[in-house]
Structure 1
Amino acid sequence: MSNLTRFDPFSLDPVVSDLFQGFFRPMRSMATPQDDELASMKIDVTENDGAYTVKAELPGLDKKDIDVHIDGRIVSINAKVERNKEEKEGERVIRRERYTGAFSRSFSLAGEVDDAKATAEYKDGVLSLSLPKKAPTDQKRLTIS
């Protein structure tokens, strides 16, 4: 029986390890912690007999940049963000950072939503959705002739 050793590039010296890890890590040099929160939109979904409630963390956005779509059981939350940050020293611009991005999150609920009665509110960086459940339709039994 042969004894194989598995190559682990992260076990090399720290310089090489940082090089390998940096190669596979997404670039986020201009992203702020708030931008990272947006990219990983956190949501809570709760349910009672009549409705679903969704809370999504979307800090620092303007409500006009948030879009919610409901298609039966599928809920999609889309947002776009544009940030401009400029640091000046006197009249010279020392650093200018721009971040523009769009992100979305879609999920499926157990039952269909009555989109005509659904409501949305955005306050203090949290989007709150109230999604009433669609009343079940009566099943019709067909007579076979």
Structure 2
Amino acid sequence: MANLIRRDPFDDLLRGFFVRPVDFGSGEVGEAPQMRVDVKEANDAYQVHAELPGIKKEDIHVHIDGPVVSISAERKQEKEVKEGERVLRTERYFGKVSRSFQLGQEVDEAQSSAKFNDGVLELRLPKKAAAQAKRLSID
């Protein structure tokens, strides 16, 4: 005689949530989140938008070296455990994330500007004027 087993699909879903890692589409489970970046070019400048949700502006660093732009950020874990509370699972990533990319032309660091609003870093990177070729006179 066959045994019948009654299963509750919602019970399986909740039990599975606390047992196996959940992947939110960032690649491998447990992998650090990626910084998503959009780069647009105009005649006189580059416009960069980088998504950095949950990061404070003082933890973001931008470095410009000629045509190379590097953005790094760190999300720090803040311990807030109340008495009698036990954390079963946390799925927030804490650590560093960085991106570097090379633009088609050197950037004028002195005229560059950055704004951080609602988790989006906006960079305006004016292009350096191309140096004119100089003709040397021979003595």
Give the structure-1-normalised TM-score.
0.67
**Equivalent pair of 1:86/1:93 in contact (CA under 8 Å):** no
Q: Which of these residues, 72, 78, 93, is aligned with residue 85 of structure 2?
A: 93
Equivalent position amino acid for 2:48 in 1 = V
Q: How many angstroms does 1:76 deviate by? A: 0.2
Q: How many angstroms does 1:51 deviate by? A: 0.2
Q: Which of these residues, 110, 129, 137, is aligned with residue 131 of structure 2?
A: 137
Which blocks of at least 5 consecutive residues in structure 2 are unaligned?
Answer: 1-26
Instruction: Let me know the Cα RMSD of the aligned residues.
Output: 2.4
Of the two structures, which has the highest relative contact order with CA contacts closer than 8 Å and spacing of 6 or more? 2
User: How high is the sequence identity, in percent, across the aligned residues?
Assistant: 50
Trace 1:64-103 onto structure 2 (pairs within 5 A).
Answer: 64-84=58-78, 88=82, 91-95=83-87, 100-103=94-97
Counterpart in 2 of 1:63? 57
Size of the aligned set, in residue pairs, is 111
Counterpart in 2 of 1:105? 99
Trace 1:7-46 onto structure 2 (pairs within 5 A).
Answer: 28=30, 39-46=33-40
**Equivalent pair of 1:78/1:105 in contact (CA under 8 Å):** yes
Q: Which of these residues, 113, 118, 124, is aligned with residue 124 of structure 1?
A: 118
**Equivalent pair of 1:58/1:126 in contact (CA under 8 Å):** yes
Distance, in Å, in 2 between the alignment partners of 1:108 and 1:71 is 9
Which blocks of at least 5 consecutive residues in structure 1 are unaligned?
Answer: 1-24
Equivalent position amino acid for 1:124 in 2 = D
Q: How many angstroms does 1:143 deviate by? A: 4.0
Q: Does residue 1:114 correspond to 2:129, yes or no? A: no
Q: Does residue 1:51 correspond to 2:23, yes or no? A: no
